[in-house]
Chain A
Amino acid sequence: SQKIEQNSEALNIQEGKTATLTCNYTNYSPAYLQWYRQDPGRGPVFLLLIRENEKEKRKERLKVTFDTTLKQSLFHITASQPADSATYLCALAGGYQKVTFGTGTKLQVIP
Chain B
Amino acid sequence: DADVTQTPRNRITKTGKRIMLECSQTKGHDRMYWYRQDPGLGLRLIYYSFDVKDINKGEISDGYSVSRQAQAKFSLSLESAIPNQTALYFCATSDSRGTGETQYFGPGTRLLVL
Contacts and interface: CB of A to CB of B under 8 A. Distances in A.
Contacts of B90: 43-44
Interface in B61-105: 88, 90, 92, 94, 96, 99-105
Nearest to B99: A49
Nearest to B92: A43
B42 A102 contact: yes
A104 B99 CA distance: 22
Contacts of B92: 43
A43 B106 contact: yes
A103 B40 contact: yes
A45 B102 contact: no
A44 B18 CA distance: 27
Contacts of A96: 96, 101
Contacts of A31: 100
Contacts of B33: 98
Nearest to B90: A43
B49 to A, nearest CB: 11
From B4, B43, B102, residue with most partner A Cβ within 10 Å: B43
B108 A43 contact: yes
B40 A45 contact: no
Contact of B45 (A42, A98, A102): A98
Contacts of B107: 42-43
Interface in A59-89: 89
A97 interface: yes
Nearest to A46: B102
A49 B96 CA distance: 15
B50 to A, nearest CB: 9
A98 B58 contact: yes
Given A43-B108, A98-B48, A32 B40 contact: no
Given A49-B99, A98-B58, 4 more contacts: A31-B100, A41-B88, A102-B42, A103-B41
